[in-house]
Amino acid sequence: MEEKLSVKANAPELLEKQLKLRAKKKQYGIIVLSSATDPYLQTEKDTKLTRQLLEIILAYRFPLHVITKSDLVVRDFDLLEKINASAILPSDLEDKLDHKVFITFSFSTTDDRIGKIFEPGATPPSVRIKAMKSALDYGFKSGVSLMPLLPYITDTSEHLESMFSIFMETEVKYIFPASLTLFGTGPADSKTLMLRAVEKHYPHLLEKYNLLFSGPDQTHYKQALGEKTKSLCIKYGIPNTLY
């Protein structure tokens, strides 16, 4: 996916315009970087676009939730620490949250071999775990976005137990598990890419994947996975909410 990127070079200008207006009206809310595109893609090393956005978020004192698969976030701990100290929480969350910056690391697996297959170009899971430990040691509220879990590969009881054990030992503050969603039939769509990877590396699972994702409804699977991960959260003492 990183072979072709469009960089929104005017993002800092647009963000400052919006936050200036919101701050003036005292309309504070938690900004998420980023729910659609990782804010720490490899290109960030050169563009420093995310760092520019953090400087603006700091200036206008907005709380922040960073979601990433990268260890590059460690570079910006200095700014994130200042945001955590000075940001203004929405009034309805003042008595619920004890932090103003949240750093969430996204995982589909903690196995570097599996990660290389399904997350090519992303920071290896083992390196992400070290970065998450650094965030926690630094005093940030940091946890896991355990999504998307891969059916029959990383959602097995054995694999889930291994991941939850690692996250417990790392002392993460929260974990958000979720199932895999696939869509599209185009060459760059998630369903096409995922099924191609499964066919190449896990051919014995291809029929199961085609069956599971042949229709629009995976309700039974999602409910079963939700129950399993909820029980693991209880077993390992890891909350599945921020508060």
Find residue 141's DSSP bridge partners: 102
Q: What is the CATH number of domain 11-183+219-236?
A: 3.20.20.70
* pLDDT tens figures, 168-185: 999 999 999 999 999 888
Q: CA nearest 237: which of 181, 188, 168, 190? A: 168
* pLDDT tens figures, 6-20: 889 999 999 999 999
* pLDDT surpasses 60 at 33: yes
* pLDDT surpasses 80 at 127: yes
State the pLDDT at residue 5: 81
State the pLDDT at residue 233: 98
Q: What pLDDT band is residue 2 in, cutting at 50, 70 and 90?
A: low
State the pLDDT at residue 211: 93
* Rg of the chain taking only CA atoms, in angstroms: 19
Contact 94, 64 (CB under 8 A): no
Kindly report the three-state secondary structure assignment for every residue of 118-144.
HCCCCCCHHHHHHHHHHHHHHCCEEEE
State the pLDDT at residue 59: 98
Give the percent of the chain with pLDDT over 70.
Answer: 98
State the pLDDT at residue 191: 93
Average pLDDT over residues 28-52: 94
Which residue is associated with the tokens 């760092």? 51
Contact 6, 39 (CB under 8 A): no
* pLDDT surpasses 90 at 203: yes
Q: Could you give the CA distance from residue 117 to residue 115 in angstroms, rounded to a whole number?
A: 5
What is the total residue count of the chain?
243
Two tokens, residue 133: 């430990």
Average pLDDT over residues 106-123: 95
Domain ranges of the chain: 11-183+219-236
Within 10 angstroms of residue 132's Cβ, the number of other Cβ atoms is 26
State the pLDDT at residue 35: 80
State the pLDDT at residue 3: 67
Helix (H) or strand (E) holding 62: none
* pLDDT tens figures, 132-165: 999 999 999 999 999 999 999 999 999 999 999 9
* pLDDT tens figures, 61-98: 999 999 999 999 999 999 999 999 999 999 999 999 99
- The bridge status of strand 175-179 relative to strand 31-33 is unpaired
183 or 112, which is more confident: 112
> Which one-letter DSSP state was computed for residue 98?
S
> Which one-letter DSSP state was computed for residue 150?
P
* pLDDT surpasses 60 at 32: yes
